[in-house]
Each structure stands twice: as structure tokens, then as C-alpha cells.
Amino acid sequence: MDVGDFLKWTESAPPTYRAAAARTLAGAYFDDRTADETYDVIEAALTILLDDASPDVRRALADALADHPEAPRHIMLALATDQAEIAATVLARSPVFIDEELVDIVAASDERLQVAIASRAGLSGAVSAALAEVGEREACRTLVANDGAQAARISLRRIAERFGDEPAMRELMLARRGLPSDVRQLLVRRLSDALGDLVAARSWVPEERAKKITGDACDRATVALAAETESEDLPALVEHLRITGQLTTALLLRAVCAGNVALFETALAVLAHVPETRVTSLVRAGRTSSLRAVYAKAGLPAVALDAFAAALDTCRRIAEEGGPRDRYRFTKHMVEGVLARYHRITDGEMNELTAMLRRFAADQAREAARDMARGTRAA
């Protein structure tokens, strides 16, 4: 094959013929049977096609080369700066590009090319981080939906911070496998806030009442989420709750009453800067006097210590007596036990905790009834 003859032929051949030639040349370039001395000539011909006036020819070239790790780098880089459709083809598929190149393209390109990069199989954490930070909305959606993409906790959190107010993005992120618990809780909080704003804006209930309802719902969801979180991920969830002001006394007491003592233990360890193993041994020993120092160091209100002690004692007693295994009935039983022991507490903050526990007990009673009804219908 002579490059000069090829040039002359491209001047008169129809675009469809030139596109077919691009595919044929690409096939020959990757054919092991092609003679070594022919590769340079074929590569030169492929390079010439980059200047073809017809986008159909360059599109065919991009499609023919996109999946091959041995594709000439200079050709792939040139195609990545071509028209959006052509550039998207190679950016979505070509293994030739290194992370540094993809990061630079993410920072400088429009949404369509960002989407192409976000859809790449096996996308690296570095490129995912760039998309999370500067990617447009659709690019971030594509990244979240890409199960093969590596995305660090901080990247997923950044996407949640930027787009977590959008229902479609929340739904997509919450459906992602392995979503870290702190990111999931952030999305739950965004949903709770959105519902509260909607209820208040429609004047369905007074604003303060709306905040109370959605706040309780968010706490309930957070406790349920913590119960499903692996122990090694609990510190990250607790730190997130602390930073966002959600690690309240009421939340922790609710968690203990739901049987999630591990969240309380982790919170004490994080707040008091004490090894979790030591906190765990103190909590499970059942001696309030031993726990008091760590509790105080954690900065939790002294007046609530007796409520926590009662909840922990009740939890141990239910376990020893073989109490209800159903989580709704267990929690209802727990809360009633705590309230029975501390119904005379009149401190302002404890009144708030008592009111929260009463609402919590009512919620669990309703859930238990619904669960029983579901079981009856299923039977």
C-alpha cells in the first residue's frame, strides 16, 4: 500500500467508501498476520483520516479503534478533541487514556464528554473524584449508576452534598450498592428537610410541628441505618452525625432503646477520645459508676446518664429473660421499661427526652401492629 496513492484515492472516493476504508485499515492494523513493515504505512493512513472532512469517516475511525489498547495514542488523543459524538466514543471506551488525561478532560469539557468518561468500565477513583468535584449533574448521575466505577467515600459524599436535594439523584444514590452509611444518612437528612419544607410551605401543619415530625422521622431512619451498618463503618457514621449536629442525646437514647448499643458505644468512644474496646467493656459491665467518667468526658448531659443506665439495664434484663425478639415489640418494651423507672424526672431536657421516648414507643406500637397485620395477610 502506498500512502500517496491512498491520499489521491481519498480525494475522490465517497464518504461511505472512506469510512469503510477506515474500518478495514483498523482491522489490518490489529491483525497479527499483517507484516511488520506494513504497520507504519497503515498508521500513516489512519492518521491522514483524522483530517477527513466527513465526520462519518472520523466517526468510523473512532469506533474501529476505541476498544483496542494498542491503538495509536496520537490518533486517540486527536479523536478526543473532535466533535462531541466522536470524542465521546473514544472517551467512553478507549483504554489508551491515562487518568491524568481523563482528569484534565473532565475539568475542561462539557457535560456530554463528562458523561462519556463517567460511563467508562473500571473507572478509577482519581477520575471519579474529579467528576464528583466538577462534573455536571448528568455526569455525576452516570458515575453513581456505574457499578464498575471506583468511588471513594469522600467522592460519593461530595456528590450527595452537591446534588442531594434532587429526588432523582437521591434515589439513584440510595440504590447504589455499598453506599457508605454516613453518605446514606446525609441523603436521608436532605429528604427529611425537603419533606419538612414542603409540609410547612403547604401549611398542612405549623412549621414547628413539621420540624418535629420530620426530625423524629430522620432520627428513626438514622437508628435503623446504624443497625444495618457494619461495626467498622460506625465511627464514620458517628463522626458525620457529630459534624452535622445530629449526634444528640435523644438520638443516642433512641438507639439504645432500639437495642443498638453499638452506636452508643461508638459515639462515647468518638466523643470522649477513648478506645472503643474500653468503652464497650464499661458499658457491658453494667456499672454506672464506672461508666460515669467516660460519659462525662464525652460531654453528654449528666442529667441523662440515669436514663441511659436504665435503658442499658432494661436491655440486659430483656436479653436475660428472653424478651420479645421482634424488633418493634422489643423497642416498645424497652421504652416502657425506661419510662416506668424515670417517669418522675422533671428536668426540662429530660422532659424533652421523655416526650421523645413516648413518641418513639407509640411509633413502635403502630409498627408492631402493622407487622402483625402483614404476617396475618401473608399467612
Distance of alpha carbon 220 from alpha carbon 174, whole angstroms: 17
pLDDT at 302: 86
Give dist(CA 88, CA 81) in Å, integer.
9
Closest CA to 24 of 74, 50, 61: 61
Length of the chain: 379
| Burial group, residue 167, by CB count within 10 angstroms (0-12, 13-18, 19+) | exposed
Burial 330-359 (b: 16+ CB within 10 A, else e): bbbbbbbbbbebbeebeeeebeebbebbeb
Residues of the chain with pLDDT below 70 are 1-4, 195-213, 323-329, 341-351, 375, 378-379
The burial of 370, by beta-carbon neighbours within 10 Å (0-12 exposed, 13-18 middle, 19 or more buried), is given as exposed
Determine the Cα–Cα distance for residues 158 and 176; give it in Å rounded to an integer: 15
Helix, strand, coil in percent for the chain, rounding step 5: 75, 0, 25
pLDDT value for 202: 64
308 touches 264 (CB < 8 A): yes
What pLDDT is attached to residue 335? Answer: 77
- Pinpoint the alpha helices (H) of 135-285: 137-145, 153-163, 167-174, 181-201, 207-227, 234-243, 249-257, 261-272, 276-285
Phi/psi of residue 342, nearest 5 degrees: -125, 30
- Of 184, 195, 191, the C-alpha closest to 156 is 184
Give the per-residue pLDDT at 346. 43
pLDDT digits (tens, 9 = 90+) for 192-207: 877 666 655 666 656 6
Please list, in sequence order, all residues whose beta carbon lies within 8 angstroms of the beta carbon of residue 53, skipping any fewer than 6 positions away.
none
Residue from 223, 159, 149 nearest 185 by CA: 223
What are the distances in angstroms from CA 97 to CA 165, 186, 187, 194, 242?
34, 34, 34, 41, 41
CB-count burial class (<10 Å; 0-12, 13-18, 19+) for 225: middle
Give me the residue label for grid cell 423497642.
331
Number of Cβ within a 10 Å radius of residue 80: 24
pLDDT at 348: 47
Q: How far is Cα 8 from Cα 134, in angstroms, rounded to an integer?
A: 45
